[in-house]
């Protein structure tokens, strides 16, 4: 099929920053794009060929949108899976598949998938209601501390909480959830795996993620991870095992814990471009966004090795600020060596909302990390 400068139409569910960065590459290749998004002022609006407003969880809306495209992909997991399955039955190519998304959307189902496929992951219990956790604690079937996770609709630290006392459960939603063993980890790692329809598979280097303790969001992504070769190889192999189990098409970001004993445990996955791959835009031969396109269009996959060491810093809304966004001291960071800011185009900021990211590239990873700390200290995402 001719995808370039043709009548081919790529549909994207979701119009956020991941979609916007994917569109950098569709514009580079002159691929016609159509986006469905609930918000009228979403970041994707400026870069796609067609922009449609609609509810991604509404069956009819997604089916009506998808029937007019040739290939359908998504930049967010919270979409109507039944609609995707219907479109597949009608001959529309949907990547990643509805089958995989149905597993990944629900964290309980996702954890059971790892158990069934003998993929290393932390111990967990599944509960239909929050009240069942309280019963398990009372009966001695569950001990503090543990990690509570909502089974569905969690994102960017929402729907996750470390529970150390019974009072920590207060105010949490009463729906389906899991209680995971709190892993005493040494590092949080991630590997992005790309796979196309004919089964060509490539992995990106292992990255290391540093998290904000309060917001449970990634603050820094460091590539390559500062780990032993043996651990890096183990993480790559685990990611490939997960990829093979899902038999996906597109990108699969596999987040993992490295324990103090040298084990690698899968935390969760994302079937799309991911926060842990943003540094690939500047630091890699092929960005994760171009690679996702190559994979879902069954084109040859690009090189995944890095040209240079890269660190990504998330730009999130400062605490205490709500309203029209202002990026304070952005000129200061642009004067630093190897620094590239990416502004997502969200007009309103709120505490911990992802508003952009900054990439720092340098042949010396330690120097890049020092510059990243300076960037984090200098720039502020505030309101007017």
Q: Which residues are annotated as a binding site for ATP?
A: 107, 149, 180-183, 188, 267-268
CA 203 to chain centre: 16
Element (H or E) spanning 126, and its range? Answer: strand 124-127
Binding-site positions read 107, 149, 180-183, 188, 267-268
Axis-axis angle for helices 81-89, 59-66 (nearest 10): 40
Q: Residue 381: exposed, middle, or buried by beta-carbon count in 10 A (0-12, 13-18, 19+)?
A: buried
Tokens of 113: 């998938």
Cβ–Cβ under 8 Å, residues 77 and 101: yes
Torsion 112-115-117-119 (CA) sign: positive
**Torsion, CA 293, CA 30, CA 278, CA 36, rounded to 10:** -80
User: What is the secondary structure of 67-112 as a DSSP string?
Assistant: TT-SEEEESSS-S-HHHHHHHHHTT-EESS-HHHHHHHHSHHHHHH
In this structure, what are the phi and psi dihedrals at residue 308, rounded to the nearest 5 degrees? -160, 160
């Amino acid at each position: 099929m001719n995808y370039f400068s043709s009548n081919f139409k790529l549909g994207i569910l979701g119009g956020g920053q991941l979609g916007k960065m994917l569109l950098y590459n569709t514009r580079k290749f002159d691929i016609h794009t159509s986006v469905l998004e609930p918000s009228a002022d979403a970041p994707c609006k400026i870069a796609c060929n067609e922009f449609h407003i609609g509810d991604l969880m509404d069956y009819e809306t997604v089916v009506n949108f998808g029937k007019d495209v040739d290939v359908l992909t998504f930049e967010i997991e919270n979409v109507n899976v039944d609609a995707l399955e219907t479109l597949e039955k009608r001959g529309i190519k949907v990547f990643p598949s509805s089958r995989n998304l149905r597993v990944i959307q629900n964290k309980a189902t996702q954890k059971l998938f790892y158990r069934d496929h003998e993929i290393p992951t932390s111990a967990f219990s599944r509960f239909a209601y929050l009240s069942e956790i309280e019963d398990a604690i009372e009966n001695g079937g569950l001990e503090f501390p543990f990690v509570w996770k909502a089974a569905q609709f969690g994102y960017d630290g929402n729907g996750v909480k470390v529970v150390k006392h019974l009072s920590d459960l207060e105010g949490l939603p009463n729906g389906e959830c899991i209680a995971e063993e709190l892993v005493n980890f040494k590092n949080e790692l991630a590997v992005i795996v790309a796979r196309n329809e004919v089964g060509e598979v490539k992995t990106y280097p292992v990255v290391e993620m540093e998290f904000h303790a309060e917001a449970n969001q990634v603050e820094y992504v460091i590539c390559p991870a500062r780990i032993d070769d043996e651990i890096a190889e183990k993480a790559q192999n685990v990611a490939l095992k997960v990829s093979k189990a899902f038999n996906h098409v597109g990108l699969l970001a596999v987040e993992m814990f490295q324990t103090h004993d040298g084990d690698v445990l899968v935390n969760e996955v994302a079937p799309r471009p991911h926060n842990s791959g943003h540094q690939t835009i500047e630091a890699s031969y092929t960005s994760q966004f171009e690679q996702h396109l190559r994979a879902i269009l069954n084109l040859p996959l690009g090189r995944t090795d890095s040209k240079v060491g890269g660190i990504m810093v998330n730009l999130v809304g400062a605490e205490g600020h709500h309203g029209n966004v202002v990026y304070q001291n952005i000129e200061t960071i642009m004067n630093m060596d190897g620094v590239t800011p990416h502004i997502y185009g969200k007009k309103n900021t709120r505490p911990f909302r992802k508003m952009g990211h900054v990439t720092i590239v340098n042949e010396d990873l330690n120097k890049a990390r020092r510059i990243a700390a300076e960037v984090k200290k200098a720039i502020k995402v505030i309101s007017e």
